[in-house]
Amino acid sequence: MSRKKIRVLIAKPGLDGHDRGAKVVARALRDAGMEVIYTGIRQTPEMIVQSALQEDVDVIGLSCLSGAHLELFSEVMRGLHDRNMDNVNVIAGGIIPDDDVPELEKIGVKAVFGPGTPTTEIAGAIEKLVARDG
């Protein structure tokens, strides 16, 4: 019996239009054997939650370079909670100050990856999160 592929939604919330990093991560996760859905830029938190619900994902990867990560990621987490989707792991990447990481963890973000993080590290973290929940 083959193991179910990990399904990951990569999303760019807010008005941030820089998506090169998100695309690199999406490609690397595909290469690591995961199913990846990339929503594109300028997504609202509601659109991200709705996509996660429709696609039945295991993980949401949020990428933000604009500085609005605390507000936007909090809205995504609230939306997941409101739809009883607390089982979906949320990770984050982008330009996120170290001082903001504890707040993101407090709202339920499982991991935060900064610029230059090896994609193998991101894939490994996702595999561990899903295996722990599995």
Q: Are 91 and 70 in contact (CB under 8 A)?
A: no
Cα four-point dihedral sign 95, 13, 93, 96: positive
Mean pLDDT of 94-122: 97
3-state secondary structure of 56: coil
Tokens read off for 80: 């997941």
pLDDT higher than 70, residue 3 = no
Q: Provide the residue ranges of all domains of the chain, joining segments of one domain with +.
A: 7-133
Task: State pLDDT tens for residues 46-68.
Answer: 999 999 999 999 999 999 999 99
Cα–Cα distance measured from residue 134 to residue 93, given in angstroms and rounded to the nearest whole number = 23
pLDDT for residue 33: 97
CATH for 7-133, options being 3.30.428.10, 3.60.150.10, 3.40.640.10, 3.40.50.280: 3.40.50.280
Percent residues over pLDDT 90 in the chain: 91
